[in-house]
Amino acid sequence: MTGLVTSGDLRTLIENYAADYPKATEGKNFWRTPLAVTAKADERFDILPEIAADDHVLPKDLLATGKSVIVFFVPFIKELARENHKGKIPCRNWGLAYESTNSLINSLCEQIKLFLEDAGYQSALVPATHNFDHKKLMARWSHKHLGYIAGLGRFGVNAQFITPSGCTGRMGSLVTEADLGDSPLVTEKELCLHKNGHKCLVCVRRCPVGAVSSETGIDREKCWTRLKSNLRDTKELAGREQTTHVCGKCQVVVPCSFKIPKA
């Protein structure tokens, strides 16, 4: 027998778990309060192969009995973003926060899955990162594109994902049998200042290798090359995990870092 679960229940679970996580793991607290949305796993998601990778997995492929998609965003604290603003190389804490947040997201997804299983619903999930094609440099399960369809946020010029809590943070998602309905936080077509016709493009100027353009968006090859060299060649990231490919310069101390930007 299944029990009633609402999108509000999930938001409370996600917020409380993230708040308790640093103490439970005896780690640093890099995060502000998470955001979460739910969406019916319907035909809207069929557009994923067109707007993301052409081999992008659909919710029904991940879980044939799935009725809802859950997407959440874990925003970083402002102090971390400001620290990473300095210089052209990511600070060491940015790399540590990336690893810690991946662990938080994976652990949180498992906790959500258990919570839903207790209510009688199966769920399916994927890792927080590195589920992408290394040749195409595109994810086969894009948390950002899922969040776009579900109404968690919108894309900026730099391909970062702008939410009501900004773009500085990381995302997770899963599919579940629970019928949670739609609970979008964003309905506007665009949130990026430049895309809304206002003067900005701070993210373009912030990229240390010129990988961001107002005309073509992000040059994935150039960005990926930089991420790999940051890990391989810098003292700031020495000893970090081999999947810690980070930079973040285009998303810190820009108008959309911590909130929806206003002209």
- Alpha-carbon distances of 29 from 16, 21, 255, rounded to whole Å: 14, 8, 23
Q: What value does the mean pLDDT take over residues 118-129?
A: 85
Question: Which tens digit of pLDDT belongs to each residue from 85-116?
Answer: 999 999 999 999 999 999 999 999 999 999 99
The most confident of 1-5, 139-143, 187-191, by mean pLDDT: 187-191
In the structure, what pLDDT confidence band is assigned to residue 137 with cuts at 50, 70 and 90? very low
In the structure, what pLDDT confidence band is assigned to residue 126 with cuts at 50, 70 and 90? confident
- Alpha-carbon distances of 59 from 77, 113, 181, 253, rounded to whole Å: 31, 15, 15, 34
Domains in the chain (CATH in brackets) are: 7-233 (3.40.109)
Which of 173, 41, 59 shows the shortest CA–CA distance to 106? 173
Question: Which tens digit of pLDDT belongs to each residue from 205-226?
Answer: 999 999 999 888 899 999 999 9
Which of 53, 50, 261 shows the shortest CA–CA distance to 143? 53
Average pLDDT for the chain: 93
Which pTM does this prediction carry? Answer: 0.94
With 90 as the cut, is the pLDDT of residue 132 above it? no
Question: What is the pLDDT, as a whole number, of residue 146?
Answer: 97
Q: What value does the mean pLDDT take over residues 24-28?
A: 95
Q: Report the C-alpha gap between 150 and 88 in whole angstroms.
A: 34
Percent of the chain past pLDDT 90, that is, above it, reads 88
Question: What is the pLDDT, as a whole number, of residue 217?
Answer: 85
With 70 as the cut, is the pLDDT of residue 120 above it? yes
- Helix and strand numbers (H, E) in the chain are 8, 10
Question: What is the pLDDT, as a whole number, of residue 215?
Answer: 84
User: Token pair of 114, please?
Assistant: 């258990």
Of the two residues 17 and 1, the one the predictor is more confident about is 17
Question: Which tens digit of pLDDT belongs to each residue from 50-83?
Answer: 999 888 999 999 999 999 999 999 999 999 999 9
With 70 as the cut, is the pLDDT of residue 232 above it? yes
Q: What value does the mean pLDDT take over residues 146-153?
A: 98
